[in-house]
Amino acid sequence: MSDIQIVPRRSEERGNADHGWLKTFHTFRLLCTYQESKHDRYGCLRVINEDRVAAHTGFGTHSHREFEIFSYVVDGELEHKDSMGNTEILPRGFVQLTSAGTGISHSEKAHGSKPVHFLQIWSLPSVPRL
């Protein structure tokens, strides 16, 4: 059995982008132009993003498939709407799991008049094509 070593990677050491409405930090390079090849995945993990979204803005409707998506709200409130008819306001400290399966569309936005800071973690499912 091998020893697992945890090595902190501060925000400024990871791939990042400032889009004005969104400040994002990427642990892996799946979703960005961040090309450091030694950090492209870890086991079944494909995405660990730290996102800071300005008030009244967010990610418009977009689709995912074949991922288990965990969202954790660090601060503020995150508004989630999806193609299954779900609408939720996720408060600070809340964890949400979305199983994208063969496909889901959703949007995520800062709720209310304050920005939202959240983490999103994507993992490959244990059983594909569900």
**Digit-coded pLDDT (tens) for 64-104:** 888 898 999 999 999 999 998 999 999 999 999 988 888 88
pLDDT value at residue 72:
98
Residue 66 to residues 7, 89, 119, 129: CA-CA distances in angstroms? 28, 24, 19, 7
Are 45 and 24 spatial neighbours (Cβ–Cβ below 8 Å)? no
Task: Give the pTM.
Answer: 0.82
Q: How many angstroms separate the CA atoms of 79 and 47, rounded?
A: 20
Q: How many angstroms separate the CA atoms of 80 and 118, rounded?
A: 12
Number of residues that this document lists for the chain: 130
User: Once rounded to an integer, what is the mean pLDDT over residues 55-71?
Assistant: 91
pLDDT value at residue 36:
55
The CATH class of 16-123 is mainly beta
